[in-house]
Structure 1
Amino acid sequence: MAMQRSSGRPSAPRRTVLAGARVARSAGVADRGRITIEGGRITDIRSRDVDANGPLPDSRDTEVVDLPGHLIVPGFVDMHLHGGGGGSFSSADAEECLRVIDTHRRHGTTSMAASTVTGTLDDLARQAAVLAELVQQGELAGIHFEGPFISPGRCGAHQPDLLRDPDPTAVRKLIDAAHGTARMMTVAPELPGGLESVRMLSDAGIVAAVGHTDASYDATREAIAAGATVATHLFNAMPGLGHRAPGPIAALLEDERITVELINDGTHLHPAILQMAFRDAGAERVAFITDAMGAAGMNDGMYPLGPMQVEVKDGVARISEGPTAGSIAGSTLTLDRAFKRAVTVDDLTVDQAVQALSANPARLLGIDDRVGSLAVGKDADLVVLDAGYDLVGVMRQGAWLVRPEGI
């Protein structure tokens, strides 16, 4: 079944019933389930054979969608995302930001945080003001500041001359610029002011993430004790595991308080490393992210990433010039591809993939009361996949954004 893209924001019927598909619920995947949606929310889920649940509603204001051979999963939630569709959240342009949002929604990411790229504090504050309005309008789930408080030795695609130590006064300036919508900030805790900033973020109810760091094992443990709860794209932009100097990876994997971000695009991580992270952390402590830049959903070419230029070749984004030329610059990943790869290449179960792509990031962003799982009372945010795990439908708040062909 191919997918047919809808335009704009279609209105939903009074009631929609999705029938006959496998349904991924917290208790496991149920065959031939039925989901009823009214007013943009899930009002009923039945997990047994449809025939045993009585006849389907026959009403002019009910849309019945028969989906045998398909899988319905919760809408994906991305807590680390910079751009897509040729646009960037760092643009400080609301229309461009909406293009990013629309691109990823049509690939199944129905909720997302907007990630910034290192810039001057004034530039980041201007970006935060625009993004905060989109959060308040319900378009975004919050703001993630990635940089400038990161290690020059692990800056990756961040411009080195704009990096700075995490002085709590500077950290507070960005928090204030977000007007209550900051959800996460990445900090290298070994830098001067790092631990104090982690404590400040934790006390403010903002996720403190350890990343782009040269922290030792012991320094990382101190950061966790100070309140850090996330590892920014674990394994990437940090020292590798060492048998005498285990570094941050060991500390982040072993601590039950930490959720680890993983970029599952086949470029950032070898499948064996991803599987090791799942074994060590457990599915309840993994969040798949895209770390996507403007080329997500687009063709190869040149794209901006904050103040830097990125060349995308064969779907891999790299900095094209300057002292960090050749460094991987985020990804061109979308979460529908991450889901398919998880279950077809990485040998993860559907339940594990749903935890990593929906439930866990929703919990960390503080929106799991509305999204992240298929449950009565939650928003009708869901993704329909065919037998090969390719996306054929996306629904957000009860309205189709990508409508399965033929319905």
Structure 2
Amino acid sequence: MSAGSVVARHYQTRQPVTLTWSEGRITAIEPATRPPAQDVWIAPGLIELQINGYANVNYWSLPLSTEDLTTSMRCLRRDGVSRILLTLTTDHWPQMIAKLKAVQAARKQSPEVRAAIAGFHFEGPFMSNVAGYVGAHEPHKMIDPTAAHIRELRELTGSDPVLLTMAPERNGVIEAIRLAASLGMRVSMGHTNASKEVIAAAIDAGLSAYTHFGNGIPQAIDRHDNILWRVLQFPSVTLGVIPDGVHVSPAFFRIIHRMVDPKKLYYTTDAVHPGGMPPGTFKFGDMDMVVGEDQVVRKPGETNFSGSALRPLEGVFRAVEMLGCAWQDAWVRFSQQPADFMGMGELLAPGQPADFCLIDHDANAPTTVRSYAGGDLRSTLPAAARMRSAGIEVAAKT
């Protein structure tokens, strides 16, 4: 691991700072005595709270080897991501536990994998099995939670950050939320059609977020009373949003940002294993799925979404494109704000991993993003909402 320092403008304060690192960790960040020689900015690596696979490595398919996870983590680091909550989606409970144990074994074997996987997001199996709300999950695998389920997850994850997505209307969920919160887990609702009263009870028990807001719902909903309107009545709820311009339309994306406290938003790709890969056909178990130019996964010939293949870095710049905002305002929603939500602390601070990005500017606009992990340069990519159109197929350096 390298040691070094860099002078750049801080993405939030806009002031010049000197960041110093040694042995893979930040040792100091202080006001700079001089401005940077070039128009370069520093921002933390991205924090991804919902990711089901990447670089053609499927996190919910066994066997899951240390080598595969290492490849996937290196590609995420290449694409600007510092740490993730590895996401395990709905399956029969013994299979979910087996997958969790396989990932934990890989983390024990590889410091590199352990550094990249900060914790876990369990999206299921405690969600709605109703058509439309179940989304791409398998309805027959949904179950009601018990205290034993929650305690088993806490035992197997230790002190790692954990995010649970549940449907509050299921039997036993309110009690499960209260227990999970008492054990230091974050609880989010998703794939749900809970009533306003049930949502209020869930929040009182410790629920604090909504998973991929605007998704996991039917295409046609009641215009007067629906899960979106109910959730928006609770300003304490943090919303996760997919910023690809497809899962949430640009118009609705802008409306969300006008209605919700900006500090109560975080971005996520919700990527599945074709994430970061070029368009094409990919295997999902025994099925073929197609990734289009829009980086959305669909069944061949169908229009419904079955996942995302978005690069997180592209998500930042697509948000900029949709909102017409400064890139710094979008970046914080894919880095510090998800970190704050999960209790990870200030990212650009002494003691934290030296995972950061240097954003080069030309004529006051971002041109390239240089991604560092542990103080080592991992890639140089265009600051673009659509990297393929910028000439990138699969980012080169891993």
1:17 — aligned with what? Answer: 5
Whether contact under 8 Å (2:154, 2:183) holds in the other structure is: no
Per the TM alignment, residue 87 of structure 1 is displaced from its structure 2 partner at its CA by 0.6
Per the TM alignment, residue 155 of structure 1 is displaced from its structure 2 partner at its CA by 1.6
Structure 1 range deviating more: 173-182 or 357-366: 173-182
**Alignment CA distance shift 1:268-1:103 (3 Å):** same
How many residues align? The count is 368
**Alignment CA distance shift 1:340-1:39 (3 Å):** same
Question: Is 1:338 matched up with 2:315?
Answer: yes
Structure 1 range deviating more: 327-336 or 167-176: 167-176
Per the TM alignment, residue 349 of structure 1 is displaced from its structure 2 partner at its CA by 3.1
Per the TM alignment, residue 294 of structure 1 is displaced from its structure 2 partner at its CA by 0.8
Question: Separation in 2 of the partners of 1:283 and 1:229?
Answer: 15
Task: Give 5+ residue unaligned stretches, structure 1.
Answer: 1-10, 52-65
1:57 — aligned with what? Answer: none
Per the TM alignment, residue 48 of structure 1 is displaced from its structure 2 partner at its CA by 5.4
Question: Separation in 2 of the partners of 1:384 and 1:67?
Answer: 13
Matches within 5 A, 1:44-55: 44-47=28-31, 50=34
Structure 1 range deviating more: 154-163 or 121-130: 154-163
Question: Separation in 1 of the partners of 2:167 and 2:282?
Answer: 27
Match for 2:70 among 79, 82, 98? Answer: 98
Question: Is 1:166 matched up with 2:154?
Answer: no
**Alignment CA distance shift 1:308-1:275 (3 Å):** same
Partner of 2:11, secondary structure, is: strand
Match for 1:42 among 26, 48, 58? Answer: 26
2:357 — aligned with what? Answer: 383
Whether contact under 8 Å (1:124, 1:174) holds in the other structure is: no
Name the TM-score, length of structure 2 as normaliser: 0.83
2:196 — aligned with what? Answer: 217
**Alignment CA distance shift 1:256-1:157 (3 Å):** same
**Alignment CA distance shift 1:309-1:364 (3 Å):** farther
**Alignment CA distance shift 1:399-1:48 (3 Å):** closer
Q: Deviations over 1:214-271 (max 9, x none)?
A: 11222222211111111000111136875532x3323433434321100001111122
2:111 — aligned with what? Answer: none
Whether contact under 8 Å (2:161, 2:342) holds in the other structure is: no
Whether contact under 8 Å (1:157, 1:319) holds in the other structure is: no
Matches within 5 A, 1:275-286: 275-286=254-265
Which letter maps to 1:316? V
Which letter maps to 1:112? I
Task: Name the Cα RMSD after superposition.
Answer: 2.7
Which letter maps to 2:217? M
Per the TM alignment, residue 45 of structure 1 is displaced from its structure 2 partner at its CA by 3.5
Matches within 5 A, 1:5-404: 11-12=1-2, 14=3, 16-19=4-7, 21-25=8-12, 28-30=13-15, 32-47=16-31, 50=34, 68-92=38-62, 93=64, 94-134=66-106, 137-153=114-130, 154-181=133-160, 183-238=162-217, 244-245=224-225, 247-305=226-284, 309-314=288-293, 315-319=295-299, 326-369=303-346, 371=347, 374-387=348-361, 388-402=365-379
Question: Separation in 2 of the partners of 1:34 and 1:346?
Answer: 30
Task: Give 5+ residue unaligned stretches, structure 2.
Answer: 109-113, 383-398
Whether contact under 8 Å (1:263, 1:290) holds in the other structure is: yes
Which letter maps to 1:122? P
Which letter maps to 1:110? S
**Alignment CA distance shift 1:293-1:198 (3 Å):** same
Per the TM alignment, residue 377 of structure 1 is displaced from its structure 2 partner at its CA by 4.2
Which letter maps to 1:34? T
Whether contact under 8 Å (1:294, 1:304) holds in the other structure is: no
Per the TM alignment, residue 110 of structure 1 is displaced from its structure 2 partner at its CA by 0.7
Question: Separation in 1 of the partners of 2:277 and 2:96?
Answer: 25
**Alignment CA distance shift 1:274-1:35 (3 Å):** same
**Alignment CA distance shift 1:227-1:248 (3 Å):** farther
Question: Separation in 2 of the partners of 1:347 and 1:403?
Answer: 24
